[in-house]
Amino acid sequence: MDDAGIDVYAFSLDVPDWSALEEVLAPDEVDRAERFRFARDRRRYVVGRARMRAILGDYLGQEPRTLRFGYGPQGKPALAAPIGAARVDFNLTRSHELGILAVQCDADIGVDVELLRPFPEALDIARRFFTPEEYARLAALPSADVVAAFFEYWTRKEAVVKSSGQGLSQPIDIPPDRWVASLPELPANYVAAVASTVPPHSIRRRSWPQ
Protein backbone atom coordinates (compact mmCIF):
# COMPACT_ATOMS: atom_id res chain seq x y z
CA MET A 1 0.00 0.00 0.00
CA ASP A 2 1.14 3.54 -0.81
CA ASP A 3 1.08 5.05 2.67
CA ALA A 4 0.65 8.59 1.31
CA GLY A 5 -2.77 7.84 -0.15
CA ILE A 6 -6.20 6.68 0.92
CA ASP A 7 -7.78 3.51 -0.46
CA VAL A 8 -11.58 3.57 -0.57
CA TYR A 9 -13.61 0.37 -0.99
CA ALA A 10 -17.33 0.65 -1.72
CA PHE A 11 -19.29 -2.62 -1.69
CA SER A 12 -22.86 -3.85 -1.65
CA LEU A 13 -24.28 -5.22 1.56
CA ASP A 14 -27.01 -7.01 -0.40
CA VAL A 15 -25.43 -10.47 -0.48
CA PRO A 16 -27.95 -13.31 -0.97
CA ASP A 17 -25.85 -16.09 0.61
CA TRP A 18 -24.31 -14.25 3.54
CA SER A 19 -24.68 -16.59 6.52
CA ALA A 20 -21.32 -18.29 5.84
CA LEU A 21 -19.60 -14.93 6.29
CA GLU A 22 -20.24 -15.18 10.03
CA GLU A 23 -17.50 -17.80 10.18
CA VAL A 24 -14.78 -15.12 9.90
CA LEU A 25 -16.22 -12.98 12.71
CA ALA A 26 -15.03 -12.94 16.31
CA PRO A 27 -17.40 -14.15 19.05
CA ASP A 28 -18.21 -10.59 20.16
CA GLU A 29 -19.15 -9.68 16.57
CA VAL A 30 -21.39 -12.73 16.30
CA ASP A 31 -23.04 -11.79 19.61
CA ARG A 32 -23.72 -8.30 18.33
CA ALA A 33 -25.10 -9.64 15.05
CA GLU A 34 -27.54 -11.84 16.95
CA ARG A 35 -28.91 -8.84 18.84
CA PHE A 36 -30.29 -7.22 15.68
CA ARG A 37 -34.05 -7.54 15.59
CA PHE A 38 -34.40 -7.69 11.81
CA ALA A 39 -32.59 -10.13 9.51
CA ARG A 40 -31.91 -7.27 7.09
CA ASP A 41 -29.92 -5.36 9.71
CA ARG A 42 -28.06 -8.48 10.80
CA ARG A 43 -27.11 -9.19 7.18
CA ARG A 44 -25.80 -5.66 6.65
CA TYR A 45 -23.71 -5.83 9.81
CA VAL A 46 -22.26 -9.28 9.08
CA VAL A 47 -21.42 -8.50 5.44
CA GLY A 48 -19.81 -5.19 6.42
CA ARG A 49 -17.64 -6.72 9.13
CA ALA A 50 -16.68 -9.71 6.99
CA ARG A 51 -15.69 -7.47 4.06
CA MET A 52 -13.69 -5.27 6.43
CA ARG A 53 -11.83 -8.30 7.78
CA ALA A 54 -11.12 -9.64 4.30
CA ILE A 55 -9.73 -6.34 3.05
CA LEU A 56 -7.61 -5.65 6.13
CA GLY A 57 -6.36 -9.22 6.16
CA ASP A 58 -5.17 -8.70 2.60
CA TYR A 59 -3.18 -5.61 3.67
CA LEU A 60 -1.57 -7.40 6.60
CA GLY A 61 -1.12 -10.81 5.01
CA GLN A 62 -3.31 -12.45 7.68
CA GLU A 63 -6.36 -14.66 7.60
CA PRO A 64 -9.46 -12.47 8.15
CA ARG A 65 -10.66 -14.47 11.14
CA THR A 66 -7.32 -14.03 12.94
CA LEU A 67 -7.53 -10.24 13.09
CA ARG A 68 -8.06 -8.81 16.56
CA PHE A 69 -9.47 -5.37 17.25
CA GLY A 70 -9.28 -2.98 20.15
CA TYR A 71 -11.91 -0.30 20.63
CA GLY A 72 -11.72 3.36 21.64
CA PRO A 73 -14.03 5.06 24.16
CA GLN A 74 -16.65 5.70 21.43
CA GLY A 75 -16.29 2.22 19.94
CA LYS A 76 -13.93 3.00 17.05
CA PRO A 77 -12.01 -0.18 16.19
CA ALA A 78 -8.26 -0.34 15.65
CA LEU A 79 -5.83 -3.17 15.00
CA ALA A 80 -2.15 -3.62 15.71
CA ALA A 81 0.15 -4.02 12.72
CA PRO A 82 2.83 -6.74 12.77
CA ILE A 83 6.15 -5.63 14.26
CA GLY A 84 8.05 -3.48 11.78
CA ALA A 85 5.05 -2.91 9.55
CA ALA A 86 3.28 0.38 8.91
CA ARG A 87 0.25 1.11 11.05
CA VAL A 88 -2.83 0.36 8.97
CA ASP A 89 -5.65 2.71 9.92
CA PHE A 90 -9.20 2.23 8.71
CA ASN A 91 -12.80 3.19 9.20
CA LEU A 92 -15.98 1.41 8.12
CA THR A 93 -19.33 3.04 7.45
CA ARG A 94 -22.68 1.68 6.26
CA SER A 95 -25.93 3.16 5.00
CA HIS A 96 -28.79 0.99 3.77
CA GLU A 97 -27.22 -1.38 1.20
CA LEU A 98 -23.84 0.33 0.75
CA GLY A 99 -20.71 -0.20 2.83
CA ILE A 100 -17.52 1.86 2.54
CA LEU A 101 -14.14 1.08 4.06
CA ALA A 102 -11.38 3.72 3.97
CA VAL A 103 -7.77 2.63 4.62
CA GLN A 104 -4.66 4.75 5.17
CA CYS A 105 -1.30 4.11 6.81
CA ASP A 106 -0.19 5.99 9.92
CA ALA A 107 -3.10 8.42 10.11
CA ASP A 108 -6.35 8.87 12.00
CA ILE A 109 -9.03 8.34 9.36
CA GLY A 110 -12.81 8.54 9.33
CA VAL A 111 -15.47 7.98 6.68
CA ASP A 112 -19.23 8.41 6.56
CA VAL A 113 -21.92 7.61 3.98
CA GLU A 114 -25.60 8.48 3.84
CA LEU A 115 -28.43 7.57 1.51
CA LEU A 116 -30.22 10.65 0.21
CA ARG A 117 -33.79 10.36 1.43
CA PRO A 118 -36.64 12.58 2.64
CA PHE A 119 -35.50 14.18 5.88
CA PRO A 120 -37.92 16.81 7.21
CA GLU A 121 -35.82 17.26 10.38
CA ALA A 122 -32.82 18.55 8.40
CA LEU A 123 -32.98 22.17 9.54
CA ASP A 124 -33.72 21.22 13.15
CA ILE A 125 -30.69 18.91 13.24
CA ALA A 126 -28.56 21.53 11.49
CA ARG A 127 -29.51 24.16 14.08
CA ARG A 128 -28.15 21.86 16.78
CA PHE A 129 -25.00 20.45 15.17
CA PHE A 130 -23.91 22.89 12.47
CA THR A 131 -22.09 26.15 12.96
CA PRO A 132 -24.26 29.30 12.76
CA GLU A 133 -22.76 30.14 9.35
CA GLU A 134 -23.47 26.67 7.97
CA TYR A 135 -27.02 26.73 9.30
CA ALA A 136 -27.63 30.14 7.74
CA ARG A 137 -26.38 28.93 4.34
CA LEU A 138 -28.53 25.81 4.55
CA ALA A 139 -31.64 27.70 5.63
CA ALA A 140 -31.23 30.13 2.74
CA LEU A 141 -31.37 27.38 0.11
CA PRO A 142 -34.51 26.55 -1.89
CA SER A 143 -36.45 23.86 -0.04
CA ALA A 144 -35.79 21.34 -2.83
CA ASP A 145 -32.02 21.63 -2.24
CA VAL A 146 -31.93 21.50 1.55
CA VAL A 147 -31.76 17.73 2.09
CA ALA A 148 -28.90 17.06 -0.35
CA ALA A 149 -26.88 19.96 1.07
CA PHE A 150 -27.63 18.82 4.63
CA PHE A 151 -26.23 15.34 3.96
CA GLU A 152 -23.14 16.80 2.29
CA TYR A 153 -22.43 18.79 5.45
CA TRP A 154 -23.40 15.90 7.70
CA THR A 155 -21.12 13.29 6.12
CA ARG A 156 -18.15 15.66 6.30
CA LYS A 157 -18.75 16.33 9.99
CA GLU A 158 -19.29 12.65 10.78
CA ALA A 159 -16.09 11.73 8.94
CA VAL A 160 -14.16 14.29 10.99
CA VAL A 161 -15.49 13.15 14.36
CA LYS A 162 -15.01 9.49 13.41
CA SER A 163 -11.38 10.22 12.48
CA SER A 164 -10.86 11.45 16.04
CA GLY A 165 -12.85 8.60 17.60
CA GLN A 166 -15.27 11.03 19.21
CA GLY A 167 -19.04 11.31 19.06
CA LEU A 168 -21.00 14.08 17.38
CA SER A 169 -22.46 15.66 20.52
CA GLN A 170 -22.08 19.37 19.88
CA PRO A 171 -21.71 21.84 17.00
CA ILE A 172 -18.44 21.22 15.22
CA ASP A 173 -16.47 23.04 12.61
CA ILE A 174 -13.71 21.37 10.61
CA PRO A 175 -10.60 21.77 12.82
CA PRO A 176 -7.33 22.92 11.23
CA ASP A 177 -5.66 19.56 11.94
CA ARG A 178 -8.17 17.64 9.81
CA TRP A 179 -8.29 17.24 6.04
CA VAL A 180 -11.75 16.34 4.70
CA ALA A 181 -13.24 15.78 1.25
CA SER A 182 -16.44 14.46 -0.28
CA LEU A 183 -16.13 11.18 -2.17
CA PRO A 184 -17.07 11.13 -5.86
CA GLU A 185 -18.29 8.27 -8.05
CA LEU A 186 -20.72 6.72 -5.59
CA PRO A 187 -23.84 4.75 -6.47
CA ALA A 188 -26.85 6.92 -7.22
CA ASN A 189 -28.44 8.72 -4.25
CA TYR A 190 -25.52 8.22 -1.86
CA VAL A 191 -23.16 10.88 -0.51
CA ALA A 192 -19.99 10.24 1.49
CA ALA A 193 -16.92 11.97 2.89
CA VAL A 194 -13.53 10.97 4.23
CA ALA A 195 -11.35 12.79 6.79
CA SER A 196 -7.77 12.30 7.95
CA THR A 197 -5.00 13.84 10.01
CA VAL A 198 -2.65 13.31 7.03
CA PRO A 199 -3.72 14.94 3.73
CA PRO A 200 -3.37 12.23 1.06
CA HIS A 201 -1.78 12.83 -2.30
CA SER A 202 -4.52 10.68 -3.85
CA ILE A 203 -7.78 8.89 -3.13
CA ARG A 204 -7.89 5.55 -4.91
CA ARG A 205 -11.15 3.73 -5.55
CA ARG A 206 -10.71 0.01 -5.02
CA SER A 207 -13.06 -2.87 -5.71
CA TRP A 208 -13.75 -5.95 -3.61
CA PRO A 209 -13.64 -8.81 -4.28
CA GLN A 210 -10.48 -8.08 -6.26
pLDDT at 115 over 90: yes
Q: How far apart are CA 9 and CA 103, in angstroms?
A: 8
Interval 26-41: pLDDT, tens: 999 999 999 999 999 9
Q: Residue 102: left (phi > 0), alpha (psi -120 to 50), or beta? A: beta
Residue range 62-75: mean pLDDT, rounded: 88
pLDDT tens, residue by residue, 166-198: 766 555 677 888 999 999 889 999 999 999 999
Distance CA 172, CA 129 (A): 7
d(CA 53, CA 186): 22
Reply yes or no on whether the pLDDT at 67 is more than 60: yes
Q: Establish if 112 belongs to a structural domain.
A: yes
* 1, part of any domain: no
What is the pLDDT at residue 13? Answer: 96
Let me know if residue 65 belongs to a domain.
Answer: yes
Range of the domain at 92: 6-206
* Domain count within the chain: 1
The mean pLDDT value for 11-40 works out to 94
Sequence-distant (6+) residues with CB within 8 A of 161 are: 110, 167, 168, 172
Sequence-ordered list of residues with C-beta below 8 angstroms from that of 184, at least 6 positions apart, any chain: none
pLDDT at position 99, please?
97
Q: Specify the DSSP class assigned to residue 81.
A: P
Residue 116 lies in a domain: yes
DSSP 120-177: TTHHHHHHHHS-HHHHHHHHTS-HHHHHHHHHHHHHHHHHHHHHHT----S-----TT
pLDDT at 53 over 80: yes
pLDDT tens per residue across span 121-133: 999 999 998 989 9
For 80-94, how does the pLDDT look when each residue is reduced to its tens digit (9 = 90+)? Answer: 655 556 689 999 999
pLDDT attached to residue 171:
57
Task: Say if 192 falls within a structural domain.
Answer: yes
CATH code where residue 82 lies? 3.90.470.20
- Whether 109 is covered by a domain: the verdict is yes
| Between 174 and 202, the higher pLDDT residue | 202
Read off the pTM: 0.93
